[in-house]
């Protein structure tokens, strides 16, 4: 059964390299790389890379929207674009060769009208029946109220399809009920909780508050290089990260969501679905731009974790 993704604020992600980054001076860059971007599109690319059926839904407008649609098709992702009056956004990432630092310039995106927002919801409603999961990922563009993802969760629930959500800020605070899984970073979880979360116990407590309030059944907290924390009503577990040389960190969190969605759709236990997510994120770290990892590499990393019985620490 397919996975349906929604990206409310998609982008053309441009990436290039330069010798060093300085103020005022012109910085001569390499030829740019262009990728279709935005959380749900990145998730869909990982799902497709793993050989599972997926449909990516997103708004697109203007000449940039046309280019975005071309990039999504070239990535081999079946999709449905909702036409918008304002043009789709572009983002820019520049890699400085002298320091290895990555500079990311992210723009707000077009203002979506209420009618355009409704058409996005209607597109999900049409494609959701029979899907294993609806995955919403990324920020909300201007003009979209912070409770939009709650409305989407209610639409998915009415179709009997569980929803996975990866967002932050006001969009995350707007969720009150009915999501299967959310994946905040530890920083996003602290912002949502309104307090510092300096250790695993406080992180687990903040995540379990969301579970106990029926916001989500599962909270998967990304800890960056420190791994992943998974919290349900019954258990809290820590999974280590896989150390690899990082080529680009853009889209790695989305790749994790894609891997978790695929594992869940395949009927994996939560532990194994998270291992597949970690494998997908790790493989994405070693690719250029926002490209997903190769299926063979993701499967290799997953099998290595499974064979090694990658240590999982029970917390609390």
Q: What is the pLDDT along the chain (316 residues), one digit of tens a residue?
A: 699 999 999 999 999 999 999 998 899 999 999 999 999 999 999 999 999 999 999 999 999 999 999 999 999 999 999 999 999 999 999 999 999 888 999 999 999 999 999 999 999 999 999 999 999 999 999 999 999 999 999 999 999 999 999 999 999 999 999 999 999 999 999 999 999 999 999 999 999 999 999 999 999 999 988 999 999 999 999 999 888 877 777 778 999 999 999 999 999 999 999 999 999 999 998 887 678 889 999 999 999 888 776 555 566 5
- The number of beta carbons lying within 10 Å of the beta carbon of residue 160 is 10
Options 3.40.1160.10, 3.40.309.10, 3.40.1190.20, 3.30.300.30; CATH for 3-9+37-87+111-309 is: 3.40.1190.20
pTM of the model: 0.93
Please list the active-site residues.
Answer: 254
Q: Which of 130, 182, 181, 178 is nearest to 155 (CA)?
A: 178
């Amino acid at each position: 059964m397919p996975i349906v993704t929604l990206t409310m604020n998609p982008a053309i992600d441009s990436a290039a390299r330069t010798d060093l980054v300085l103020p005022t001076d012109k910085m001569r860059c390499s030829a740019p790389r262009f990728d279709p971007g935005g959380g749900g599109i990145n998730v869909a690319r990982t799902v497709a890379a793993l050989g599972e059926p997926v449909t990516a839904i997103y708004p697109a407008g203007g000449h940039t929207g046309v280019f975005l649609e071309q990039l999504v098709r070239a990535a081999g992702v079946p999709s449905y674009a909702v036409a918008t009056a304002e043009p789709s956004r572009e983002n820019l990432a520049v890699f400085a060769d002298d320091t290895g630092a990555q500079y990311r310039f992210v723009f707000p995106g077009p203002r979506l009208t209420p009618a355009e927002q409704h058409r996005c919801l209607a597109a999900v409603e049409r494609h959701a029946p029979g899907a294993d999961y609806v995955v919403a990922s990324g920020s909300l563009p201007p003009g979209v109220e912070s409770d939009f993802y709650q409305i989407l969760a209610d639409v998915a629930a009415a179709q009997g399809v569980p929803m996975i959500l990866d967002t932050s800020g006001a969009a995350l605070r707007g969720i009150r009920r009915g999501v299967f899984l959310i994946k905040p970073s530890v920083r996003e979880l602290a912002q949502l909780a309104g307090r510092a979360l300096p250790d695993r116990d406080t992180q687990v407590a903040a995540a379990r508050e969301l579970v106990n309030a029926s916001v989500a059944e599962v909270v998967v907290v990304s800890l960056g290089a420190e791994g992943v924390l998974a919290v349900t009503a019954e258990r809290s577990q820590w999974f280590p990260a896989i150390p690899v040389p990082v080529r680009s960190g853009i889209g790695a969190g989305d790749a994790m969501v894609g891997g978790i969605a695929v594992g869940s759709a395949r009927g994996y236990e939560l532990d194994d679905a998270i291992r597949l997510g970690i494998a997908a994120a790790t493989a994405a770290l070693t690719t250029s731009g926002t490209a997903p990892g190769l299926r063979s590499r993701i499967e290799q990393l997953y099998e290595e974790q499974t064979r090694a019985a990658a240590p999982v620490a029970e917390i609390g």
